[in-house]
Structure 1
Amino acid sequence: MDFELSEEQKAFQSLAYKFALKEFPPFAQECDREEKYPKEIWQKACEAGLVGIAIPEEYGGPGAGWMETALITEQLSRIDLGLGLAAVAATFGAENIINYGSEEQKKTYLPLLPAGKAIFAGAYTEPNAGSDVAGTSTRAVKDGSDYVINGSKTFITNGTICDYMVALCVTNPEAPKKTQRHSLIIVDAKSPGITRMKIHGKMGIRASDTAEITFEDVRVPQKNLVGKEGNGFYQLMHFFDQTRIMVASQGLGLAQGALDLALKYVQERKTFGIPLAANQAIQFQLAEMATRIELARNIIYKAAWKADNGQLDPALNAMAKFYAGETAVWVTDKALQMHGGYGYIDEYDIQRFYRDAKILEIYEGAKEIEKITIAKRLF
């Protein structure tokens, strides 16, 4: 087994870390306090080649794989999770086009993403259908050559700033199985009948745009159907099986960043005349933090490697996301505790890391859903 990264992978890793170190600090506190989407960060990330890296070369991307996606996501999240999402989530939803889109759809939409000409969103979650994806009730009814969409979505990443979204809609309500009733449809976010409202007051990732979206008689050409009608649920499950690698990498990067902050602080902070780092209890805690992070790194890299080598493993990807999210929450808690009272004020970045971490156990499949995915494949 060769655990060594290729030179190209090391280059992506270094590029992402250096980019985040340079570009994120001036925006991190401001975007967090003001719940402000960092458009400038997104534009610079596009220019740096950090957006849409999985898009094939024939559609304007570098054609990199899930390992490169994991490495970039890890390094950006290491400095700030919310700002990192401006880059890694700018294509969110477009992966469905890569997987199942027509040639015309791929040529129309994919080149816009790495070029910085468009942002995508995945309009899946609804007020009464989060983990229960098959319970989605937004309807798309055929009328002439169009679909007419009615319904509502919530917790949509990039909801108010996206140019296009891939929406999960009921198109075949009479199908015998709930999982055969849905389709994925590309929607122009500026279409008449769409109302988008930013969700305020989030605990964390406040730099990332999150919205409620309402569709009222929104007309969309039937040619915007992604893949086969009635296959939307299965296509979306495949999408989540893939993107859990990216979310797991967010947890890994955030945990590593929290450890970085803790290591710096305990070497500078003195108590009873000596640095905190000289305290054996602190050393033991740091050792356990580093161990859990390395365990998360190994399972994530394995999941990414398998995905790139035609061995996508839903159970392994669920393990990676579940463990990395839990690790991020645990590590940030320990890191903040080492900062004492200073960790409780926003002058110190660790409190933002602490708040950001919790979402990693909730979005893209709550950790309980990950456990169900794992358990189903044990028998």
Structure 2
Amino acid sequence: MSAADILDEAERLVLDTVREFVDREVRPVASELEHADAYPHELVEQMKRLGIYGLAVPDELGGNEVSTACYVLITEELARGWMSLAGAMGGHTVVAKLLRHFGTEEQQRHYLPKMATGEIRATMALTEPGGGSDLQAISTTARREGGEYVVNGAKTWITNSRRSQLIALLCKTDPRADPAHAGISVLLVEHGPGLTVSRDLPKLGYKGVESCELSFDDHRAPVSALLGGQEGCGFAQMMKGLETGRIQVAARALGVGKAALDDALRYAQQRESFGKPIWKHQSVGNHLADMATKLTAARQLTLHAARELDAGRRVDMEAGMAKLFASEAAMEIALDAVRVHGGYGYSTEFDVERYFRDAPLMIVGEGTNEIQRNVIAGQLVRRGGVD
């Protein structure tokens, strides 16, 4: 059974279209773009035309909404071609989901049609220089002054922040609130005076798409920018958004793992040693068998989380499991692909070294795997087990 068999006919057509785009347009240029650390302008424009930026936007608002399972498989295909492309639409989708579930009708009608076409691209701003996964400890504030919020603070590791027109900013509208999460809100911030996108952070992998530092110095946003129109709801809103975000990161890991396995399998059939293809040597064959098994298990775990999300259930544990397992599997598969390629796996002329540099992002991004284990353990206790 193919993973695509769970999709309806229309979704399979979308997935096939993306797969063809990846094979025809992305894979031939990914290595060159990645090593040049060049932003993929032309590929992003094609993604807009394919409707990829509207996958979480309802049809009546101009989108091309698909199930989360279809979204997972589309993300996997993009990451199979070049993981950075999946990153170029990941945060955008989470913000679209935030608007869909929590935005006022005015916010939805203002942003979602333009987000569906990619005219407006969006990102999230959560992480701060002085803290990582402890989002309740953020120090960025938004102080109400009449009909505006005055924002001060800093964010870091914000993907697409230079080229996105909309930023879902996690901030404190009541710094004195107890518990702290009761004072956290999400502001829909646009670029303007008082918001500085400073440097692009240098990265091991994940090239081409920028990850930046943001500085807010008395940046002013209208009161209408408050997501949902009610203060103090931002922490719960963002936690719900991160369920989609972590499933998306798991899907990226699937794409990297799939690309690494495909390359290793192809190379193992072409390369010969001691008079036979190297896959026939037990040590290499074992690597391939383990790689395929890990990838298949990771995909099923990720699709399980996707189906649970579409069923309307809370999936912080399921999304955490998917993200944890898929990202660790991608790292192991990428390393094994290097082993199968031998010395060529260490050469920049082969793509497997790129997969090995890209894979760690999924381990530390969207909440480190150590945090995922904390989430999983906490939910196991609250739920009384896995089921």
TM exceeding 0.5: yes
Q: Which residue of 1 aligns with 2:195?
A: 194
Q: Which residue of 1 aligns with 2:218?
A: 217
Residue 194 of structure 1, CA deviation: 1.2
Q: Which residue of 2 aligns with 1:290?
A: 292
TM-score of the aligned structures, taking structure 1 as reference length: 0.96
- For residues 93 and 219 of structure 2, the distance between their equivalents in structure 1, rounded to whole angstroms, comes to 23
Given the alignment of the two structures, is residue 144 of structure 1 paired with residue 146 of structure 2, yes or no?
yes
Identical columns (%): 36
Matches within 5 A, 1:19-34: 19-34=21-36
SS state at 2:163 partner: coil
Q: Which residue of 2 aligns with 1:205?
A: 206
Q: Which residue of 2 aligns with 1:325?
A: 327
Contact 1:28 1:83 survives alignment (8 Å):
no
Q: Which residue of 1 aligns with 2:40?
A: 38
SS state at 1:212 partner: strand
Residue 145 of structure 1, CA deviation: 0.4
Larger deviation, residues 198-207 vs 284-293: 198-207
Paired AA for residue 213 in structure 1: L
Residue 86 of structure 1, CA deviation: 2.4
Residue 12 of structure 1, CA deviation: 2.5
Matches within 5 A, 1:159-308: 159-189=161-191, 191-227=192-228, 228-308=230-310
Distance 1:89 1:237, change over 3 A: closer
Q: Which residue of 2 aligns with 1:127?
A: 129
Residue 118 of structure 1, CA deviation: 1.5
- For residues 297 and 339 of structure 1, the distance between their equivalents in structure 2, rounded to whole angstroms, comes to 24
Paired AA for residue 334 in structure 1: D
Residue 99 of structure 1, CA deviation: 1.7
Residue 237 of structure 1, CA deviation: 0.8
What do the CA deviations read for 1:224-278 (whole angstroms, capped 9, x no partner)? Answer: 1002201111111111122211111111111111100101111111222322122
What do the CA deviations read for 1:147-203 (whole angstroms, capped 9, x no partner)? Answer: 0101110000101111110111110112121111111001112x1111112324200
Structure 2, unmatched stretches of 5+, are 382-387
Matches within 5 A, 1:101-120: 101-120=103-122
Structure 1, unmatched stretches of 5+, are none
Residue 92 of structure 1, CA deviation: 4.4
Residue 91 of structure 1, CA deviation: 3.7
* Structure with greater helix share of residues: 2
Paired AA for residue 346 in structure 2: Y
- For residues 111 and 290 of structure 1, the distance between their equivalents in structure 2, rounded to whole angstroms, comes to 40
TM-score of the aligned structures, taking structure 2 as reference length: 0.94
Residue 15 of structure 1, CA deviation: 1.7
Larger deviation, residues 212-221 vs 263-272: 263-272
What do the CA deviations read for 1:21-53 (whole angstroms, capped 9, x no partner)? Answer: 111134312332232221211110110122221
SS state at 1:310 partner: coil
Provide the aligned C-alpha RMSD in A: 1.5
Contact 2:201 2:213 survives alignment (8 Å):
no
Q: Which residue of 1 aligns with 2:71?
A: 69
Q: Which residue of 1 aligns with 2:385?
A: none
- For residues 12 and 373 of structure 1, the distance between their equivalents in structure 2, rounded to whole angstroms, comes to 33
SS state at 1:24 partner: helix
Number of residue pairs matched by the alignment: 377
- For residues 72 and 14 of structure 1, the distance between their equivalents in structure 2, rounded to whole angstroms, comes to 9
Paired AA for residue 194 in structure 1: L
Paired AA for residue 143 in structure 1: E
SS state at 1:36 partner: coil
Residue 300 of structure 1, CA deviation: 0.9
Paired AA for residue 198 in structure 1: R
What do the CA deviations read for 1:208-230 (whole angstroms, capped 9, x no partner)? Answer: 21100001111100011002201
SS state at 1:365 partner: coil
Larger deviation, residues 19-28 vs 237-246: 19-28
Contact 1:138 1:151 survives alignment (8 Å):
yes
SS state at 2:380 partner: coil
